[in-house]
Structure formats: C-alpha cells, structure tokens
Amino acid sequence: MGRWGHRLFESDHDIDVAGDLGETLKGNPLQLSRMIHQTDMLAPQEARIFYQTDEYKIILEQTVAEVRAQLDSGLGDCFFEKVRAHAKKNTFDGPYQIIIAGALMMRAGAKIRPKHIQYLRGLVPTIHCNHRFALPIFDLGFREPGRVQFLNALDNYVAGTPRDFQAPSCFTCGKSEVDLGFAPKKCSRCRGAWYCSQKCQKAQWANHKPACIPLEKKFSLNV
Ligand SMILES: [Zn+2]
Ligand SMILES: [Zn+2]
C-alpha cells in the first residue's frame, strides 16, 4: 500500500523500519512500532474506531512511557550508536533508518545526546525528499512535509515530552499543537493540508496548488 499520508510513520516502509529497529539491541527488544499506529484509510473499520477511543489512548501512553523508561535506563545511546553502525553497511536505506530511529526516540520522549541531535540535523539534507506523492519505487526517504516536521521536532525537542509525529503539523514550518498551543488548520479547499497561519499557507501555495484538489473531485482514496 506504500504511503497513505504525508507525515512520518504514514507508510508501510516507516512502520516496517520501526519494527526492525525494535530488534536492534539483542536481548532487549524495544516496543518501537507499538508507539505508532496505522491511520491507513484502508485499515479495517474496527481498528480505526479503536484508535480513536480513550481505551487506546491509555494503552498508547503506557507503551510510550515503557519505551522511554527502557531507553533512558542507558539503552538509548547504545541503540542510536548501533543503528548508526548498521547504517554504514546499508548505504541504500541506512541513513533514513537513522532518521526513523531519531524520530522514534522523540516519539518516546527519551533523552537524546546533543551530539546525536546535531548528527540528525546534519543528516537531513542528505536524505531524498519528494514534495508530492510518487510511485513507490521513487518514494524513498522523506515526503514533505515530513522533513520540515522532523526538523522542527529536532529544534523544539524536550526530553520527557513525547512528540507525536502523527498529529497534524503545519506543511510549511512543521509545527504542531505541542509547539503552537493550538492545532494547525486544514486547507479549506482540499482538507488534506494543514497550516498554522495564513503566512505559512501563502508561503507554501505554489507547491501545494497542484495537490489542492477539492475533496469531492478526488475519486481515488489513496492518491
Ligand atoms: Zn506554520
Ligand atoms: Zn489544499
């Protein structure tokens, strides 16, 4: 199914990587992929309904707290270094796996060394980024606004405060409710893009215009 959304963790690939990364530390499996859920429109109806319940919210918060405790017990640095070492052998997808590892540590709200945050920041420009939907074989790396969302998360990251990469974030500056104090607003035309302000909406319009198709004109669910 490839990607169904714009943000990090809105593709099968990202979720697969998260699952694999959970096995990085031998003898200490991390429940990384359980911190993210499929918001795929094609997921079974019951699953989508369950993800919106308070019951799931509690389970998710517990999972995030458990992973944070595991990483902060000393495993976090080791995890990050190991992912970096593995990436050297996988020049194809390795650098992006480091990005996903960083995003998962921020998802957990775990402590991340300043040198690792710095490393992630430097890595971002080397990762391929598509601005729009692309065929799966060309759809490697980030899809904007996933990149700007990730950079904003690095800039504003506070250990102990988990960052939910699945919350709507501004397509221009990457900020989400946790940064703004209010949720970004949906583009009123296509309802498929979010902006924190008119200034950000205007700045992105040339890029967004081709994708801004009013909802009623979209005949395929997964474009
Ligand atoms: Zn913005
Ligand atoms: Zn739009």
**DSSP one-letter string for 17-43:** HHHHHTTSSTT----GGGGS----TTS
Per-domain residue ranges of the chain:
12-166, 167-223
Partners of residue 169 on adjacent β-strands: 176
Residue-level pLDDT at 199: 97
- The predicted model scores a pTM of 0.88
Residues in the chain with pLDDT values less than 50: 223
Residue-level pLDDT at 215: 75
DSSP state of 162: -
Closest ligand to C-alpha of residue 207 is 2
Residue-level pLDDT at 154: 97
Q: Give the C-alpha distances (Å, rounded to integers) separating 51 from 62, 67, 194.
A: 14, 19, 21
Residue-level pLDDT at 155: 96
Angle, vertex CA 149, rays to CA 148 and CA 150, nearest 5: 90
Strand-strand pairing, 194-195 and 129-130: unpaired
Which residues fall inside 5 Å of ion ligand 2, going by CB?
A: 187, 189-190, 193, 212
Ligand 1 centroid from CA 211, angstroms: 18
**114-138: per-residue pLDDT in tens?**
999 999 999 999 998 887 666 666 6
Residue-level pLDDT at 138: 65
Ligand 1 centroid from CA 144, angstroms: 13
